[in-house]
Each structure stands twice: as C-alpha cells, then as structure tokens.
Chains A and B, each alone.
Chain A
C-alpha cells in the first residue's frame, strides 16, 4: 500500500512536472506575441511582423506539447486519485470544468486563427485572436491555481452528506493563498518567457549579428530586470502568507526542528530526519526570525509542534534553496545583461554564452518552487480535510510501474525533440 502510494505520487509528479514546463512558457510567450502583433499593427514596421512570425512557431510547438501533456492530466485525477473526487469533487469538479469551458476551447480555437488565419481574416480579427489566446492561457492558470490554492488553504467549504461542498464560491476561489500564489506563478511565467526570449536571442547572436535578435534580447532582459525584484518581493509575501496558514511547510523549508525565538537562517546543512537536527549547518544568527517575523527575536514554530503531520524536510529545504539561488542568479544576470545591452550595444561573446546558458533558468526555478509548495502540503492532499493516502486509487504496482515507464520514455523523446527543434529554430533566426 505504501509502495503504490509512493508510485502513484511519483507518476503524478512526473506528469504534472513535465506538463507545467510548457504552460509556464506559453502564458508569457502568448503575451509577448500579443505585444509584437500590436506593435506591428501600430507601426507597420515589418521587423515586428518578422519577430512575431518567428516566435509564433516556437509558441505553436510549445503549446502543442502543453496540450497533449494536459490531456493526460485530465485522466490522471481519476486514475490516480479517485478518493479526491469522492471527497472534494463538488469543489474541484466545477473549478476544473470552468477551466475547460472558459480557457481550453478559447485558446485552442483562436490559436488556429492566430497561426493560419493571417491571410484569411481582417487585421483586427488576427490581433484579437492573438490577444484571446493570451487571455485563454491566463484564465487557465487562474482556475487551476484557484483550485490548487484551495487545496493548500481551504476556505468557504461546508461538510454535507459526507463530502465537502462549496458554501461560498467567492471564498473558495479567493482563498487566502490564491492572490499570492497566482501572482507568484504569473511572474514565474513572465520570467521563464523572458529568459527564453533573451537566451535564444543570445544563441542567435552567437551565430550572426542579427538586428531582430538584438531587439528581442533587449526586450527579454529589460522585462526580466524589472520583474525579478518584483518577484523577490512577491515571493517574500507568499512566504509570510504560508507562515500564517501552513506553518509546518515553512518549518520544513527552513529545517527548523524545534520552536525557537531568534531563529537563525540556515544557509546550508544536511537535514538529518532520523535525529531531527541539521548536520554541517552554516547559519546566520537571528536572520531567520528577522526575515519571517521582521523581528530578530521573533518566535517561529518548529516541526516538533506539528508531528506527525508535517512534510519531509530534505526535499523542501534543498528545493527552496535551489529556487532562491536560481532567482538571485537571474537577478544578477538580468541586470548585468540589461546594462550590457544599453543603447543598442551587443554584449561580448562570453556574456552571450552565459545568457544562452540561462535560457531555461525559469523552468528550473519554477520546478523547484512547485516541489516546495506541493511536497510541503504533505501528508495532506487538501490541508486538514483529506490525506493523500486516503485518496489513492487501486492501481497495482505493476500497472503503475508500466505506466511510469511508458510516460518516461515518451516524455524523454518529446523533450529531446523539442530541445533540438528549439535550438535549431532559434539558431536560424527570424530573417532567414
């Protein structure tokens, strides 16, 4: 039973972890494309159209992978977590339905017009289609994050006939963690898209002094340079929100085994689950309380107060540090890059190599962030209402093993092909 729970979680994690990469990129790219398309409409400068035409191809490919991996998700809820729908289906069902109805059809249909309708429809309709696709991607994130946030910080539900139903939909949707989670994820998407835009443009500039790539490099870097600091602030607020509503998650992220006043900030350590302490810890005294309580002597509740309902420390501790580390590196890279591209300058080659290397930094940070928040919710599927182990299905270990293998092979093939095509298209540039 324990094993099949672990396998079910591994399989779901693999699917959703692979899936999230693509929407995270398409949400931002859709808005970038809308901006390029509008810029062309206003200026009639053919360079905007060339930029649009090149990036719309990358968008189409990314979107396709997002769609097909998303279809998988719609089956996964039932195959892996039938107990989820039995207990909270009256809340999850409508939110998922709204996502399909308001977002999926909108983006899929207008994507067809956006990709192939350029010569068949009037300009205004083509611009509108591009904007509607962007709205669709964002609405999709809105609904799914509303549901996800409700699973973290449920409010507005009432127990009736043995299942949780919505007492107040506004409180279900706008639950306490939703505003911060949604903003945090939108910014994560913008940063993912901006670094892809800048990174692939830098890749192109390594091959040729392409005017269009210079421009997209600048746009990506400037957007990132502005948005990373905002993200740092939003991330901090999201963390304080988590401290209020899911203190066990924060304790695990900070590897705080016991309640402390004047808690240090652990920069590095090897959390020791067995003995409930940190080995080889490097700490900054009082800094933990200062960050979390804005008071060096503030008291922060440790893991001992939540036993046994607390998440595992290792994954959260390391994933959180990786996310923050990547985020700070992105801050440095975007600022240095923005400085190096001022007034139409082209950065030196070593810097272009560095920027190319940071193309997928947003993906890495996003994945780390999701590990922190989702593993951090354990052992709950819906905090305080439903445990993950009570929702797992009856699939056998053999079925789960075979399906994980099938998905892993398929995803590896898709990912490899996606990367090959992406670098190839980016290397060719918009002009050719």
Chain B
C-alpha cells in the first residue's frame, strides 16, 4: 500500500501551525501584556521568553514552508488573497523581534519607544494573524460582513494569545507578577470564551460547507465531543487560576490553555477537511508532484525527531522560574 503523502503533509502542516500558535502565541501574548506590568516585572517577562521566541517563530516558517513546498497551488492562492494582511502581520513580527534586542540595549526614551514598538508589534502580528485566519475560513469572500467577521477573529486571536501569554507567566514567574498573571489569565479566558463562541456560531452561518459538516446526524453527536471538551478545559482553567496562592502545578494553566487551542484547532480542521482552500482546492488537488513530496518526507522523517529532541532539551535547560537578570 502506498502512503497518501498529501494527507501526511496536511497533518505535518497542521501540526506546525498548531505548534506555532501555542508556542509563539505565548510570547506574542507576553508582548501584549507588557504595558500592564511594572518596569521590573517587564524584565522578568522578557526573560521568560528570551531563550525561546526565535525557535518559536521558526514553526511559522515551517508551516508556511510546507504550504509552499507540499501544496504550492494553495500557497499561491492563499498568499495572493491575503496580500495586505500578510504585509501588516510581517511588519508587526519584524518590529517586535528587533525590539526584543533593542529595548535592552536602549536607555531613557529610546527604551520607552522600543517597549511601545514591542507591544504594538506583538499586538499587530497577533491581530493580523487572526484576520488572516478569518479571511481563510470564509474562502476570502468579499463583502463588508466577511471582513467584519475577519476582524472579529483577529480580536479573538489576540485574546487567545493573551491567555497563552498570561498562563505562561503563571508558570514562569512568582510573587506579585504571578498573581497579576492569574488575573490576566481570567480576562483572557473570558475574551476567548466570547471569541470562540462567536466564531463557532458564525462559521456555519458564513459557510455552507462547514454547516453541512457539523449538522449531519448522527455524526454531529460524535463531533459534539469537541465543544464539550473545550467547555471542560475552560472550566478547569478557570479553577486553576482561582487561588492566589502559589502551587506546585504552575504549569497546569498553560497546559489547559494549550488544550483549548488544540481542541479549537481540531474543530477548525474538521470543518475544513479535505479542503486546503475552502470550496476551491482539496489537499489532493493542491498537492505538489509526488517526487517532491517523497523528497521532503524522507528529509522530514530523519530530521524532525532531532528537532523535537533538542527543543525539549532547550525547554529543560530553561525550565523553572524566569531569571530577570537573563539579559544582564
């Protein structure tokens, strides 16, 4: 039996995008939370993401790289349709990535400026990624309503990243900042509940394909597991951020936030499959030549285990509470 490589690469691309969202999501979220913290707390916050953000961003390059290499026809359609949101998102990512390095080396009002650009870049990148997602879900349909939908998704993704960032800080910090992070987590949770509910209800309305997927008895009963599990994870996270006392399971909040993201992602994947561009291109229609898929598959099969291994190594080395003197 030959392997369905298009399906395999759909999974690889999905996994990369999910890895990007939950990993870069926390450092973008921390960036957005910066103005809410004191100067000393800001140093700790930046230190909590310093060793990781670079590698986190690489998952985006991998996700886009797989789209480009394995589904070239879709890459052209998607990137062409998302032209301006992509530019806006990239400008955000550039500003924040460089602001990271520059804010530490700058003094006085220069530092203030880079702090501001760090916040604005994180916020802009998150918002425009959400807009890209919103446009993507609706198949880039034109019209005021569709753009409004995309902007709502953009705002919701900001809430999601704030949740990831806040729960990451619960794990990486202690004392006053950790207490603040718990409160931020709850704001993020409310924001996410609103956003996820809105997007889940709106998506079947704007897309007939998605509607057919979710209202197809008796399968509907099975896929209802996804929203139910999301609800359970949401409640558990609300509980996990309840007490203002330090616990030995600081990591739990972040893991639950990742669970919420993973479930939402699976719901989305279920809605879209087997389309890579909804109603236009299936993964098989968009797939690259089999020889290309085979070549990438061989390389990925050899290299990805190493990537996973040294990524785990890096997280182990920098485990525990963040050291605010990291950049000194």
Which residues does A use to contact B, with CB under 8 Å? 57, 60-61, 63-65, 67-72, 74-75, 77-79, 82-83, 85-86, 89-94, 96-98, 100-102, 104-106, 108-113, 115-117, 120-121, 160-161, 163, 165-166, 169, 393-395, 399, 402-403, 406-407, 410, 413-414, 417-418, 421, 424-425
- Pick the contact of B75: A57, A64, A82, A94 (CB < 8 A): A82
Give the residue name and chain of the B residue nearest to A414 (CB). Answer: B98
| A403-B292 contact, Cβ under 8 Å, with A97-B300, A101-B304, A116-B51 | no
Residue contact B76 to A85, C-beta cutoff 8 Å? yes
> Is B197 among interface residues, defined by CB-CB distance under 8 A?
no
Q: How far is the CA of A91 from the CA of B72 in the complex (A)?
A: 11
- Chain A nearest CB: distance from B8 CB in Å? 13
Q: How far is the CA of A414 from the CA of B54 in the complex (A)?
A: 17
Contacts of B314 in A (CB 8 A): 109-110, 112-113
> Is B303 among interface residues, defined by CB-CB distance under 8 A?
yes
> Is B193 among interface residues, defined by CB-CB distance under 8 A?
no
Give the residue name and chain of the B residue nearest to A76 (CB). Answer: B79
> Is B102 among interface residues, defined by CB-CB distance under 8 A?
yes
Q: Which of B295, B296, B304 has the most CB of A within 10 A?
A: B295
Q: How far is the CA of A101 from the CA of B69 in the complex (A)?
A: 13
Contacts of B78 in A (CB 8 A): 78
How big is chain B's contact interface, by range? 35 or more
- Pick the contact of A97: B65, B77, B100 (CB < 8 A): B65
Contacts of B57 in A (CB 8 A): 67-68, 71, 108
Give the residue name and chain of the B residue nearest to A92 (CB). Answer: B69
Task: Report the number of A-B residue pairs with Cβ-Cβ less than 8 Å.
Answer: 205
Which 4 residue pairs across A and B have the least CB separation, nearest first? A93-B69, A82-B76, A78-B79, A112-B51
CB within 8 Å of A: which B135-175 residues: none
Residue contact B58 to A410, C-beta cutoff 8 Å? no
Residue contact B299 to A101, C-beta cutoff 8 Å? yes
Residue contact B75 to A78, C-beta cutoff 8 Å? yes
Q: Which of A90, A121, A169 has the most CB of B within 10 A?
A: A90
Residue contact A105 to B68, C-beta cutoff 8 Å? no
Q: How far is the CA of A79 from the CA of B295 in the complex (A)?
A: 24
Q: How far is the CA of A85 from the CA of B93 in the complex (A)?
A: 25
Residue contact A402 to B93, C-beta cutoff 8 Å? no
Residue contact B86 to A75, C-beta cutoff 8 Å? yes
CB within 8 Å of A: which B277-322 residues: 288-289, 291-292, 295-296, 299-300, 303-304, 307, 310-311, 314, 317-318
Q: How far is the CA of A75 from the CA of B98 in the complex (A)?
A: 19
- Chain A nearest CB: distance from B61 CB in Å? 5
| A68-B291 contact, Cβ under 8 Å, with A94-B296, A108-B58, A110-B310 | no
